[in-house]
Amino acid sequence: MSGEFSRSLEVLSVFRPTQGEQVSKYNVPADVPNDLIETYIQNMDAATAGTGKMNLFACDQKIEHLNDDFYDGGDAIPLTSNDPKHLFEIGQRCHDAGTIGVLAGQLGLISQYARDYPDLPYLVKLNSKSHMVKTAQRDPISQAMWDMDDVMSLTHNGINVVGIGYTVYIGSEYEHEMLSEAAQFIRQAHELGMIAVVWMYPRGQAVADEKDPQLISGAAGVAACIGADFAKVNYPRAFEGMSQPESLAIAAQAAGRTGIICSGGGSLPALEFLERLHAQMSVGNCMGAATGRNIHQRDTESAVRMTAACHAIICEGASVEQAMAIFEGN
């Protein structure tokens, strides 16, 4: 165990439940030390607005998709979206309004802006890769660029880091390397009272269909086995005889106590996106959503309203009509 990580375990807050005491409204993993259960609960509260359901603002695409999601010459994406500051301005406005769970981004990106937005709850993404090398060239591998010492350097500087994130490509010939790293980071995050989210994507030459519902359910189960608190998955295509949301519910069941959060995917018209999100929550039994392009590919005001609309569905059980009224500013 490295020095900074070891010292961090010694300085965090103390909470010792007595035997048989009800310690949390959440499931607290057994690898969270007893004296850091309160810290874990506080981080979970921050990440889920106290509901256990996460409205995750996905801001990791600057590496994952390069600039494709941020600039198109002003045709459909506002020119302001090209500046990374746009992400943090949205995040801060939504945090002030109580409508965001976490802003998820790579450690380097967060470190560039977090001193201006230190109270915004951050989920630090530890690995990333671009989309340049296609599966036909080589199976995907995305290994860590930072470790928990680097994460703790942010917290020691007053940045509100509540958890970590990591992507695993199930079905890649390199899945073992990614699973091993993810499992260790999850354990280390829990030892510090932080939450852990994994992006679980079936991908590789052995994967015929990345949205096969059986594979999505399998990836959800793997996330449970490595101890993640939440797993982001793609919206599966439907099992025969089922709808898409019903098929997503199979993955949610397979994940057990790991909460499934569904990927927001590419930009959709607002009503279509909110209808899909509502079905994912109410029928698919998701524990949240990870939304990037459907938020940040808008001007700041519209992005803030869309985040609030997502929060209403995810954390408050709002109807599509109620969420649309929020988005439209009514």
Concatenating the DSSP letter of every residue in 131-169 gives S-S-TTTS-----BS--HHHHHHHHHTT--EEEEEEEEE
In this predicted structure, the answer to whether residue 10 has a pLDDT above a threshold of 50 is: no
Give residue 25's pLDDT.
Answer: 87
Asked whether 217 and 260 are in contact (CB, 8 A), the reply is no
Q: Is 185 helix (H, G, I), strand (E, B) or coil?
A: helix
For 23-61, the pLDDT digits (tens) are 568 999 999 999 999 999 999 999 999 999 999 999 999
Q: Where are the chain's structural domains?
A: 42-327
Asked whether 295 and 317 are in contact (CB, 8 A), the reply is no
Token digits of residue 93: 């406005």
In this predicted structure, the answer to whether residue 12 has a pLDDT above a threshold of 50 is: no
What CATH number should be reported for the domain whose range is 42-327? 3.20.20.70
Q: Count the Cβ atoms, other than its own, within 10 Å of residue 176.
A: 9
CA distance 87 to 61: 11
Of 147, 141, 148, give the one whose Cα is nearest residue 171: 141
CA distance 96 to 119: 9
Rounded percentage of the chain residues whose pLDDT exceeds 70: 93
Question: Could you identify the residue written with the tokens 């020691």?
Answer: 156
- Show which residues are catalytic: 201, 232
CA distance 77 to 49: 29
CA distance 135 to 151: 30
**Residues in CB range of 66: below 8 A, 6 or more apart:** 130, 131, 132
Q: Is 111 helix (H, G, I), strand (E, B) or coil?
A: helix
Give residue 18's pLDDT.
Answer: 44
Token digits of residue 323: 């969420």
For 223-275, the pLDDT digits (tens) are 999 999 999 999 999 999 999 999 999 999 999 999 999 999 999 999 999 99
Query: At 8, is the pLDDT very low, low, confident or very high (cuts 50, 70, 90)?
Result: low
CA distance 64 to 166: 12
Of 203, 207, 286, give the one whose Cα is nearest residue 251: 286
For 138-155, the pLDDT digits (tens) are 999 999 999 999 999 999
CA distance 38 to 60: 29
